[in-house]
Structure 1
Amino acid sequence: MNILPGNTVGIDLGTTYSTIAQLNTDGVPVALQNSEQRTITPSVVLLGEDGKVIVGPSPERMAIENPKNIIEAIKRQMGNKDFFVVYQGKRLTPEFISALILKKLKQDAEAALKATGGGVAGDGTVVNAVITVPYYFNDVRRKATQDAGKIAGLNVIDIINEPTAATLAYAWSKGELGRKDLASKEKTIMVYDLGGGTFDATVVRYTPTNFRVLATDGDVMLGGLDWTRRVVDHVAEQFQRKHKEDPREDPESLMMLTLDCEQAKRDLSGKSQTPINISYHGKNLTVSISRQDFERITGDLMQRTRDTAELVMQQAGVDKGELDAVVLVGGSTYMPVVETMLTEVTGVAPTRDVSPEEAVAQGAAIHAAILEARQTGGDSRLAQAVISRLRSVATTDVNSHSLGIKITDPANKTRKINHIMIPKNTAVPHKVTQKFVTNSANQTRVHLCVLEGDASDPDACTTIGDFRITGLPANLPAGSPVEVTYAYDKNGRIEVSGRELTGKTEASIEIDRAAGLTNDNVDAFESLATEYQVE
């Protein structure tokens, strides 16, 4: 993607909070303040009755609004073609709702830059953006994120994985990034990223000029929201036992209870105990919850992150005590139990050398500056010494989901299985060729179905593309060879080709985040976004 004139930023589009950052003229990644003078913006959208959209409304404002007009955790729906919200007679997709959040970030960042001299480009306009996603986002979710950026009026120059961004920010904070004089000094770190709605654990090995992901795993449906919901259920059940009514049944009551439990969860990071007051239908109850209670009722959630952390260490070939650092990312890492658990698992006390809420956006800003320095030749107000350091940095990622092909099970001809061609955690770019055979005599075509996922059952995987080799030779016997090649490049593009070796007939498909919205859909939503006043 070409970089256009204007400021280039990095954006952490989070489930519960989002942040936008830029490398300033001194080469320091800085999170930009919003109109409320904060560096984090709640990823909450309030669709007003008058057509006015408020992004990040205060709890007080949310308390007086119809809960049906409040959209939270939209990141969990990214790429879900069946999810939509009807507003003013229009069906709004997750991409469009996310674009409203991005539009707010863009507006506020431009105001902040203009107030301080216009940013690196000097004119204050935000044009280009690198947007982050969880490592475990599949191709469909990544495409949806890219579309959201375009709808918001951004030139999305790259989608980068959150742990990679956090690693860039960590190395920069240590004064290591781009230092050719330190190029042989290698470190291995774990990035433990527990945000509001998603979770990743990633092991990265890096020198100041080269970053290589060794292993990653995670869950796009696990985050601080789930801890909060456990507290909601805990106190609601106590209220129900006493008053025989459930405050979760009323949307307004549930929203207020959720806000109170969210605050209680945060309070327990610094206190051993906190009260939660519930009022419903004129009845009241105060429930006192201790940190011990909180950790007990959410213990299985924490265990899931522990299992993942242990798994990626095993896959990376790293034993306890061998990591150079464990980097905490995401607001949910402030829970004290996170540090205790990670110290037990890794043998290393986690570090807060980067801001858990800002590190991902700062790393995205660094990555954006690297791309800009390579393309523009340093045509900005960045110091030349900084530009030189940026140009020397290279990253190597891995694919977070296996890529496979649907074939007939050799052991059971009546069923189909997912045959994995490129296993997850394979360094990209990667290319592999394997031979298969036709199923029956006189086949006239071969259907190749490209799957994303690790399950053996194709129905448990995501179909990301399919194509056919047609015009096979007449009288082709069963068992005739077919050669299939999978190529996965560093930009996330997947090319699959098939070749029937008897008649030399071949076909191919390139998968470039092709699922989700069409170009026409994106253009229509981009036009619609200009109609809404976002605050």
Structure 2
Amino acid sequence: MKFVEGHTVGVDLGTTYSAIAQLDSEGQPISLKNTDGRSITPSVVLLGEEGRVVVGPSFERTAIEEDPSHIIEAVKRHMGDDNFYVVYQEKKLTAEFLSALILKKMKQDAEKEIGPIANAVITVPYYFNDVRRKATQDAGRIAGLNVIDIINEPTAATLAYAWKRDELGNPDAMPDGERTILVYDLGGGTFDVTIVRYSPTQFRVLATDGDVMLGGLDWSQRIVDHVAEQFMKKFGSDPRQDPVTLRTCVQECEDAKRELSQKAQTPVSIYHKGNTLTVALTRGDFERMTADLLQRTRDTTELVMQQAGVEKGQLDDVVLVGGSTLMPVVEEMLKNVCGREPSRTMNPEEAVAQGAAIHAAILEARATGGESRMAQAVIKRLRSVSTADVNSHSLGVKITDPNDRSRKINHIMIKRNTEIPASVSQKFVTTSDNQQRIHVIILEGEASDPDACSTIGDFRILNLPSNLPKGSPVEVTYRYDANGRIHASARELTGNNESATEIVRDSGLDIAGVDRFEMLAKDYLVE
């Protein structure tokens, strides 16, 4: 990786809120504040008139917006989706570009505090596939950042947790050697649960799972639906059909959700077509109407514990990350599942960005040869830490089903939660006589149906020997390197013909596309 001149930061690009952080000269992770004096910025984009873009607008500002389609929220859920775009000033704006506007705003605000920012580590949910990770990297580049790495959110949170406990890079801090912790990350739009084992000089992920379409937004939506249904029963019309009313209702319900983390009951009011309804919502009501959502996170937590070989009561700590973990019922559930009280030592809304800042500083310390604004003791400590990650999705190859030659299946080569780097070789056979070429299609996903997986690359072996009989052996090798890059090769063993490819997270967009959007971003006044 190449560093460019300027400050290096860590960024948590969240579904509902985003944050940016840096290690100070004494090695302490600090959150950098926006122009409102807050350490988190709402991940909301308001596309105003004449190219004026407001990131994190106030509710009062969004309430008077005449075109609700110009208020963009939860764009993270659309990262890597080629079918998602917003039309603005006769231009199609992708999720990458809209995310870049959020990053640009945070970069601008943080630069007022520390000066020019050049390099960044950006976080993603563990369960983001390669396409979504590429899109996140593109967003950073469009925003004018040199993206030195993409790091998984639970890994970042673990770094922040262990670093703040003075346990990473400090061999005297842990006389017992290792700790095993569970990181439960329930944010506004995504969910991850991860088990990590770490020592002063190394931490490694044992197992992870999650859902990129599950988060606090779904809890809020249950309140919206409940209130709207009560309104319909009384007045016969659905307030969700009016975009302006819906927006006000969503904000009311979001506020109510937060209130119920502190209170046993709160009122929710809705006004529509001259009628007003106030619903008294109790915490018990809220927990009952969202019980299935919490159960989904519980099932995932129990699965990850099983995959990691960790029993109830064996964890050294349970770390809560993400604003949605402030709901009391989350803590109660985890106490029951894990056999211990979850830790509240971390700020759940800042931990991920601060962990990304630590990871960024580790990379910087290794790359700069000791030339840094940080103290030499901090640099030495940073350099002593190494990490071992796992893959969050299985890697497979599309093959003909041996039991039904009319269909194709995904044959998994490297299972998810395999520690990387990793390499696997397997032998297959040709499917017809005198076969002229072999087409290797690389799949990412757990399903046996290739159409339910993501195709992330392919390559061909050409010029096979003439009269090659059906059933001739072919060896396929998949490899994850230490940087998470995917390498695949295949060799036809009769004639020893070989071909290979590397899946490099260069860009979901091509270089010209990134450059084009980067120029467009400069045309917009982001405030």
TM-score per shorter chain, which class? over 0.9
- Alpha-carbon distance between aligned partners in 1 of 2:56 and 2:102, rounded to the nearest angstrom: 8
Aligned partners of 2:361 and 2:325: how far apart in 1? Answer: 28
2:173 and 2:63 map into 1 onto residues whose CA distance is 53
Partner residue in 1 for 2:106: 105
The whole-number CA distance in structure 2 between the counterparts of 1:50 and 1:352 is 45
Preserved CA contact (<8 Å) 1:272 1:290: yes
Distance in structure 2 (CA, Å) of the matches to 1:511 and 1:109:
33
Which of 193, 200, 204 lines up with 2:192 in the alignment? 200
- Residues of 2 paired with 1:341 and 1:514: CA distance? 40
- In structure 1, which of residues 351, 363, 370 is the aligned counterpart of residue 362 of structure 2? 370
Question: Does residue 361 of structure 2 align to residue 361 of structure 1?
Answer: no
Residue of structure 2 equivalent to 1:86: 87
Match of 1:502 in 2: 494
Determine whether 1:407 maps to 2:408.
Answer: no
RMSD: 0.8
Superimposed CA distance per residue, residues 344-379 of structure 1 (whole angstroms, 9 cap, x where no aligned partner): 000011001111000000000000000001111221
Partner of 2:422: 430
Corresponding residue to 2:479 among 475, 487, 510:
487
Question: Contact (CA 8 Å) 1:372, 1:378: kept in 2 or not?
Answer: no
1:464 touches 1:515 (CA, 8 Å); kept in 2? no
Residue 516 of structure 1: CA displacement?
2.2
* Displacement after TM superposition at 1:58 (Å): 0.7
Tell me how far 1:50 sits from its aligned partner: 2.3
1:436-469 superposed Cα distances (whole Å, 9 cap, x missing partner): 0000111000111000000011011000011111
Q: Matched residues in 2 for 1:439 and 1:533: separation?
A: 58
Q: After the TM superposition, which residues 140-155 of structure 1 pair with which residues of structure 2 at under 5 Å, given as runs?
A: 140-155=131-146
CA contact (8 A) 1:173 1:353 kept: no
Per the normalisation by structure 2, the TM-score is 0.99
- CA apart distance, 1:476: 0.7
Q: Distance in 2 between matches of 1:317 and 1:433?
A: 26
* Contact preservation (8 Å) 1:81, 1:516: no
Alignment of 1:172-187 (within 5 A): 172-182=163-173, 185-187=177-179
1:314-463 alignment to 2 at 5 Å? 314-463=306-455
Match of 2:69 in 1: 68
The question of whether the paired residues in 2 share the 8 Å contact of 1:402 and 1:454 is answered with yes
2:180 aligned partner: 188
In structure 1, distance between residues paired with 2:290 and 2:359: 35
CA shift digits 1:286-315 (9 cap, x unpaired): 011000000000000000000000000000
After TM superposition, list the pairs within 5 Å mapping 1:197-276 onto structure 2.
Answer: 197-276=189-268
Residue 116 of structure 1: aligned partner: none
**CA distance in 2 between partners of 1:392 and 1:381 (Å):** 18
Alpha-carbon distance in structure 2 between the residues aligned to 1:185 and 1:37: 40
Aligned to 2:281: 289
- How big is the shift at 1:515? 6.2
Decide whether the 8 Å contact of 2:138 with 2:507 is kept in 1. Answer: no
For 2:402, give the aligned amino acid: P
The ranges of structure 1 where at least 4 consecutive aligned residues each deviate by more than 4 angstroms after the TM superposition are: none
In the alignment, the residues of structure 2 paired with residue 507 and residue 487 of structure 1 have an alpha-carbon distance, to the nearest angstrom, of: 14
Secondary structure in structure 2 of the residue aligned to 1:258: helix
What per-residue deviation string (whole Å, max 9, x for no partner) do you get for residues 326-349 of structure 1? Answer: 000000000000000000000011
What SS class does the counterpart of residue 180 from structure 1 fall into?
coil
Matched, 1:20 2:20: yes
Tell me the secondary structure at the aligned position of residue 324 of structure 2.
helix
Counterparts in 2 of 1:514 and 1:2: CA distance versus 1, 3 Å = closer
Unaligned runs of 5+ in 1: 114-123
What residue identity is the alignment partner of 1:391?
R
May I ask how many residue pairs the two structures share in their alignment?
525
Output the amino acid matched with 1:159: I
Aligned partner of residue 489 in structure 2, secondary structure: strand
Q: 2:137, 2:507 within 8 Å by CA — same for their partners in 1?
A: no
Cα distance between partner residues in 2 of 1:174 and 1:181: 12
Partner secondary structure for residue 227 of structure 2: helix
What displacement does 1:380 show? 1.9
Q: Distance in 2 between matches of 1:32 and 1:48?
A: 26
| 1:201-250: CA deviation from partner (whole Å, max 9, x where unpaired) | 00000001101000000000000000000100000000001100000001
CA distance in 1, matches of 2:285, 2:83: 37
Report which stretch shifted further, 12-21 or 65-74: 65-74
Identity of aligned residues (%): 69
* Paired position in structure 2 for 1:164: 155
SS in 1 for 2:132: helix
Compared CA separation, residues 359 and 353, structure 1 to 2 (3 A): same
Q: Aligned equivalents of 2:271 and 2:495: distance in 1?
A: 76
Distance in 1, matches of 2:360 and 2:171, equals 20
**1:258: how far off?**
0.2
- SS state at 1:472 partner: coil
CA distance in 2, matches of 1:373, 1:447: 43
Quote the Cα distance in structure 2 between the aligned partners of 1:29 and 1:399: 27
Structure 2 letter corresponding to 1:90: K
Amino acid at match of 1:382: M
1:125 paired to 2:108: no
**Residue 49 (str. 1) matches residue 41 (str. 2):** no
1:464 is aligned to 456
SS of 1:530's partner is helix
Give the distance between the partners of 1:393 and 1:380, measured in 2 at CA.
17
User: Gaps (5+ residues) in structure 2?
Assistant: none
Within 2, Cα distance between the matches of 1:125 and 1:514? 25
* Secondary structure of the corresponding residue to residue 396 of structure 1: strand
State the SS of the aligned residue for 1:213.
strand
Match of 2:303 among 306, 311, 318: 311
Shift of 1:158: 0.4
